[in-house]
Amino acid sequence: MKWVSVALAVAGAALVGLSSASAATLDTVKARGVLNCGANGQLPGFGMPDAQGVWTGFDVEMCRALAAAIFDDPDKVKFIPLTAKDRFTALQSGDVDVLIRNTTWTLSRDTQLGLNATMINYYDGQGFIVRKSLKLNSALELNDAAVCVQQGTTSELNLSDYFRTNKMRLKSVTFATLDEALKAYDTGRCDAYTTDASQLYSVRLKLAKPEDHVVLPEVISKEPFAAFVRHGDDQWFDIVKWVQFAMVNAEEFGIGQSNVDEMVSSANPEIKRLLGSEGNYGEQLGLTKDWVVRIVKKVGNYGEVFDRTIGQNSALKIARGQNALWTKGGLMYAPPVR
């Protein structure tokens, strides 16, 4: 199935390339009065509707932040659930203005598919979950372990690479579906279970006794998630990029939902520029002066969104890890507003 979706997406890129005399995305969005955001429909923590039909998740909040910056109203977003197969064509054809759907940034997606990745908003990668009773501290101690993994996934490939590189013996036990693999792990057929870290935490809750299991600190692969836009509209590319940068900067300067109003009158020149009390940086993007105030007040800064949707204040309780600010040992780093 994979080549089908790739072929379709490449064909789509070619067709869109022929007719790329399209209007500026920002103007289209403003005229429409609502942002069309391509989302995942069923990934807990990142994008799915809750029992009341309200969309929730990390990617979803990123879309809301964009809407807040453009319309000063985080609810002016239409979420369009996309599958892994149709997500790129939906973006190419203009069905969605932006694709924020736990999508890994790779070179071919940047070039072949005619898309632009804006900023890495979540550093994902493959991790391991093991029983606490094994008293393991590192994935490097997994020598000779039986590891449950889903068949035919990149996880399976990464797993054997990792074990080979570290000269460990692997007994991988593969299953066709995630649920089967998980069940096997839960019933004790394997010592460890592996998949992308973003999923490990939600998967953990499906175990009979989640508190008996622990996620190991190692991340053995690179799956950087980014928001994507189409080639050919640099203004829109800048807006999507800088809305996310602004959220990271806001966290770095300690600007949150509760204190953003006081921070507007801060004397710190960096904060002044970010919040628009000095300069016209928002207007340069095609937005308003107070664009960051709108985002932080209506949606929150990066850390707040993270905690609320996937972090400590959510059911998933994903550790910040690589997604902590660069000042706190993570990789989250945004260029300055000036």
Partner 1 sequence: MSDMATTTDTVLFVRTQRAERVAPPKGPRGPLGWARAHLFSSPFNGLLTVLIVAAIAWVVPPLLDFLVFHAVWSGDDGREACLATAQNPDPGACWAFVRTWINFFVYGPYPMEERWRVNVFFALLAVGLVWMMWLDAPRRDLGAAYFFLALPAASVVLLHGLPMIGLETIDTALWGGVLVTLVVATVGIVVSLPVGVLLALGRRSEMPVVKLFSVIFIEFVRGVPLITVLFMASVMLPLFVPPAWSPDKLMRALVGIAIFSSAYMAEVVRAGLQSIPKGQYEAAAALGLGYWRTLALVILPQALKVTIPNIVNNAIALFKDTTLVFFVGIFDFLRTIEVARNDPAWATPVTSFTGYAFAAMCYFVACHFMSRYASGVERRLGAADRR
Residues that bind partner 1 (CB under 8 A): 4, 8, 11-12, 15-16, 19, 22, 41-45, 48-55, 78-83, 85-86, 89-90, 92-95, 179, 183, 186, 202, 205-208, 314-316
Q: Report DSSP state, residue 210.
A: G
CB of 131 to partner 1, least distance (A): 15
Distance, in Å, from the CA atom of 23 to the CA atom of 300, rounded to the nearest integer, reads 31
Nearest to 149 by CA among 184, 123, 125: 184
CB of 290 to partner 1, least distance (A): 29
The order of strands in the sheet holding 115-124 is 77-81, 35-39, 98-104, 223-230, 115-124
Q: Cβ(244)–Cβ(118) under 8 Å?
A: yes
CB of 19 to partner 1, least distance (A): 8
Beta carbon nearer to partner 1, 22 or 151: 22
Q: Cβ(151)–Cβ(218) under 8 Å?
A: no
Beta carbon nearer to partner 1, 14 or 331: 14
CB of 81 to partner 1, least distance (A): 5
Beta carbon nearer to partner 1, 202 or 266: 202
Sole residue written with tokens 């002016």: 76
Question: What separation in angstroms does the CA of 136 have from each of 68, 105, 170, 191, 218?
Answer: 45, 32, 16, 11, 12
Sign of CA dihedral 94, 96, 99, 101: negative
Q: What tokens were used for 20?
A: 């790329």
CB of 206 to partner 1, least distance (A): 5
Distance, in Å, from the CA atom of 303 to the CA atom of 315, rounded to the nearest integer, reads 16
Beta carbon nearer to partner 1, 222 or 317: 317
Q: Cβ(244)–Cβ(291) under 8 Å?
A: no
CB of 89 to partner 1, least distance (A): 5
Distance, in Å, from the CA atom of 51 to the CA atom of 37, rounded to the nearest integer, reads 20
Beta carbon nearer to partner 1, 57 or 224: 57
Beta carbon nearer to partner 1, 29 or 248: 29
CB of 37 to partner 1, least distance (A): 10
Q: Cβ(158)–Cβ(165) under 8 Å?
A: no
CB of 209 to partner 1, least distance (A): 8
Q: Rg for the chain (alpha carbons), in Å?
A: 21
CB of 115 to partner 1, least distance (A): 15
Beta carbon nearer to partner 1, 46 or 245: 46
- Please write down the HEC assignment for all residues of 112-151: CCCEEEEEEEEEECEEEEEEHHHCCCCHHHCCCCEEEEEC
Beta carbon nearer to partner 1, 27 or 50: 50
Beta carbon nearer to partner 1, 179 or 234: 179
